[in-house]
Chains A and B, each alone.
Chain A
Amino acid sequence: GAVVSQHPSWVICKSGTSVKIECRSLDFQATTMFWYRQFPKQSLMLMATSNEGSKATYEQGVEKDKFLINHASLTLSTLTVTSAHPEDSSFYICSAQQGAGNTIYFGEGSWLTVV
């Protein structure tokens, strides 16, 4: 089946630094990618929707200047957490869709720990 890969799987960064997480669709072109955040023992919360070649649409309450999303190609979207703080520590997971009406595939997720 279709595969969506995230990198890195685990990352530890110092408070105040920025960290980038990549989401790649390995065998299909993802016109739309979604970024979710999951706190321990909680559900996934949609952060933003990203369409290739256009600006991401952020959910209410998500700081777009802090969580920079780029979807420059049909196989790659990146999430950059800028000036990270310990409260940004979370599990970030992306999903990708090859056009409207098609199945959504999720990545393996990326654990971010800010110390």
Chain B
Amino acid sequence: AQSVTQLDSQVPVFEEAPVELRCNYSSSVSVYLFWYVQYPNQGLQLLLKYLSGSTLVESINGFEAEFNKSQTSFHLRKPSVHISDTAEYFCAVSDQKGNQGGKLIFGQGTELSVKP
């Protein structure tokens, strides 16, 4: 079984400041890792994912996450945030034996609040 822990439930930050949203996981098998974003009153959107290869993955809107196997972490970072990044961010894992990302285990979520 897998589990995901997002260490911060809320992260307030000023616009243009850097941000890191932390995610740690536990699993007895190899996993795929995901970050999803949920804007108010909307569904989830995939932000980025790690399946294999380079441990640093990037999204089109400036976010990046690095898979660290030894620390079982997949922290999400952005060097300069915008007001529009305000949302709930979820880290998720799925085991590699199943369908790709089919059955996801989610963390508790981190509410990113960007202030002007």
Partner of B99, one of A45, A101, A109: A101
Contact B102 A34 (CB under 8 A): yes
Q: Mark A93-108, 1 if CB is under 8 A from B, else 0.
A: 1010100111110111
Contact B90 A44 (CB under 8 A): yes
Contact A104 B46 (CB under 8 A): yes
Chain A min CB distance to B109 (Å): 5
| A residues 68-107 in Cβ contact with B at 8 Å | 93, 95, 97, 100-104, 106-107
A to B CB contacts below 8 Å, 29 in the list: A4-B43, A32-B99, A41-B9, A41-B109, A42-B108, A42-B109, A43-B90, A43-B106, A43-B107, A43-B108, A44-B44, A44-B90, A44-B104, A46-B104, A49-B102, A49-B103, A93-B43, A93-B44, A95-B44, A97-B99, A100-B99, A100-B102, A103-B101, A104-B101, A104-B104, A107-B43, A108-B43, A109-B41, A109-B43
